[in-house]
Amino acid sequence: MFLGRRGEKLLVGKSCRVVRCRAGGKPVEGGDPLALEPNRMREEMLNSLDIAKRPEDTRVVVAMSGGVDSSVVAGLLARQGYDVVGVTLQLYDHGEATHRKGACCAGQDIHDARRVAAMLGIPHYVLDYEERFKNAVMEPFANAYRQGETPVPCIACNQSVKFVDLLAVAQDLGADVLATGHYVQSVLGEDGLRHLKRPVDADRDQTYFLFATTREQLDFLRFPLGGMTKPEVRALAREFGLEIADKHDSQDICFVPQGKYTDIIRKMHPEALAGGEIVHMDGRVLGRHEGIINYTIGQRKGLGVAAAEPLYVVKLDHKSGRVIVGPREALKTHTVKLRDVNWLGAGAIEAAAAGNGLPVQAKVRSTRAPQEGVLFVSEGEVFVTLLTGEYGISPGQACVFYADEGATTEVLGGGFIAEAVPQALVA
């Protein structure tokens, strides 16, 4: 049971369809489950969310983090006449992290979301998902570093808490769709399916973090900001009279105080600080370290060893506890093996990547532009070959593939990097 903005009791469960009462006291029932069927949609006039209903008859749950983007989404949809319900998930509460600039989903941000909802005149609910977030995002994050990987917690959060748990809550609230403030585009194709595409604002492109979104989830999700730029969004926030119009954007790892991820791991798993050897790739032992969690592939500074040439972390061997270092050239990787692949392209991935493979634009870091690559499947495993190669690729990162170089091209899918062996370490 949770308390809404006006103090209503809210029960969230699979069997709960009545979620709140309007001023007249009549319950608001759930939406029409047939509203998203492609054939039916094409027979009727669609609203701006591609639903065959009038806006006032279309319930939209908006995931409100307390930031500018999700607040503007709520404002836009409310202005268009939709039945908007704001939901904020409290995901963590780690003291200093809740008050620093760039944090989200805790502390001040929850209060900001409440104030925005009050100004817009929409119902707003705060749901406590701290335990779920810890188990689904924070624990895997810490364990990945213990295994010598470099995880991307935002992807894990979208995969679990946001697009599974929150999506289920939205459905329990009788929503027709769940809307978020992500900068991606979801376009209804001639095939009746929704296609994930890059946004108009390339500087805000978040498709890398949403590659794992399934087709079923895309059917229920809407991203109203995909066709807008950030300055346009802030201008709308000012037009709506929102106090958070100039608020700082949230950062990737929202739950890490002061950006020190090792502090979180140290607190959750003190044993992760077990020491070991720092070894050159030629076999020389150069020194010792105080836990492989303090290192990432490609790291140069803070290695704790003296050498005549610049050295970089080439590999983290969690089994032996060794940090292996070498020259920058040893970091170059051309082929990566993927796990947990989510395919959004047409047909089966095996057919699409048959023969000499499928030419794609591949992105292995959120901050780097995609590069030419080839997607292929061998003995049931998915691989991507990067034609020009990439330096410092680490297991745990994502590799996302796009159809072409177009500014708003389609996302074909992606996967997590299971193996990324630098060319210098190939036997």
- Over range 202-222, report the average pLDDT: 97
User: Which residues is 125 bridged to in the sheet?
Assistant: 4, 87
CA distance 39 to 113: 37
Predicted pLDDT at 136? 96
The residues, any chain, with a CB within 8 Å of residue 22's CB and separated by 6 or more, are: 28
Lowest-confidence range among 188-202, 246-260, 395-409? 246-260
Amino acid, single-letter form, for residue 233: V
Instruction: Name the band, by pLDDT with cuts 50, 70 and 90, for residue 424.
Output: low
3-state secondary structure of 139: helix
For domain 274-326, give its CATH number from 1.10.10.10, 2.30.30.280, 3.40.50.2300, 3.30.420.10.
Answer: 2.30.30.280
Dihedral in degrees, nearest 10, Cα atoms 350, 353, 357, 363: -120
User: Which residues is 258 bridged to in the sheet?
Assistant: none
- Over range 279-303, report the average pLDDT: 95
Where along the chain do its domains lie?
A: 2-257, 274-326, 331-425
pLDDT exceeds 90 at position 102: no
Instruction: Please report where in the chains the tokens 């503007």 appear, as a residue.
Output: 72
User: Which residues is 285 bridged to in the sheet?
Assistant: 279
Q: What percent of the chain has pLDDT over 70?
A: 85
Q: Of these residues, 104, 105, 157, 399, which one is catalytic?
A: 157
Predicted pLDDT at 423? 66
- Token digits for 338? 């993927």
Amino acid, single-letter form, for residue 256: V
Predicted pLDDT at 255? 84
Predicted pLDDT at 334? 96
Q: Are 317 and 324 in contact (CB under 8 A)?
A: yes
- Write the DSSP assignment of 93-106 as a string of letters: --GGGGTSTT--SS
Structure confidence by residue, pLDDT tens digits, 325-361: 999 999 999 999 999 999 999 999 999 999 999 999 9
Is the fold of 2-257 the same as that of 331-425? no
Helices (H) and strands (E) in the chain, counts: 11, 19
- Distances in whole angstroms, Cα of residue 381 to Cα of each of 129, 187, 215, 337, 396: 35, 30, 21, 7, 16
Closest CA relative to residue 114, chosen from 147, 74, 142, 143: 74
Provide the 10 A C-beta neighbour count for residue 100. 17
pLDDT exceeds 70 at position 94: no
Provide the 10 A C-beta neighbour count for residue 86. 27
Instruction: Please report where in the chains the tokens 């490609």 appear, as a residue.
Output: 298
Q: Are 151 and 339 in contact (CB under 8 A)?
A: no
- Token digits for 53? 């209903």
CA distance 417 to 176: 35
Predicted pLDDT at 425? 56
Greater confidence (382 vs 259) lies with 382
For domain 331-425, give its CATH number from 3.30.530.20, 3.40.50.2300, 2.40.30.10, 3.30.70.20.
Answer: 2.40.30.10
Predicted pLDDT at 256? 83
Predicted pLDDT at 167? 97
The residues, any chain, with a CB within 8 Å of residue 139's CB and separated by 6 or more, are: 268
- Over range 139-154, report the average pLDDT: 95
DSSP 8-state code for residue 164: I
Predicted pLDDT at 23? 32
Predicted pLDDT at 230? 98
The CA-to-CA distance between both ends of the chain, in Å, stands at 58
- Report the predicted TM-score, pTM, of the whole model to 2 decimal places: 0.86
User: Which residues is 10 bridged to in the sheet?
Assistant: 2
Active-site residue flag, 104 = no
- Token digits for 166? 């929150």
Characterize the bridge pairing of strands 83-90 and 124-128.
Answer: parallel
Q: Of these residues, 104, 154, 254, 399, which one is catalytic?
A: 254
pLDDT exceeds 50 at position 32: no
For domain 2-257, give its CATH number from 3.40.50.1240, 3.40.50.620, 3.40.50.720, 3.50.50.60.
Answer: 3.40.50.620
Q: Are 251 and 258 in contact (CB under 8 A)?
A: no
Predicted pLDDT at 407? 96
Predicted pLDDT at 92? 81
Structure confidence by residue, pLDDT tens digits, 36-79: 444 444 446 899 999 999 999 999 999 999 999 999 999 999 99
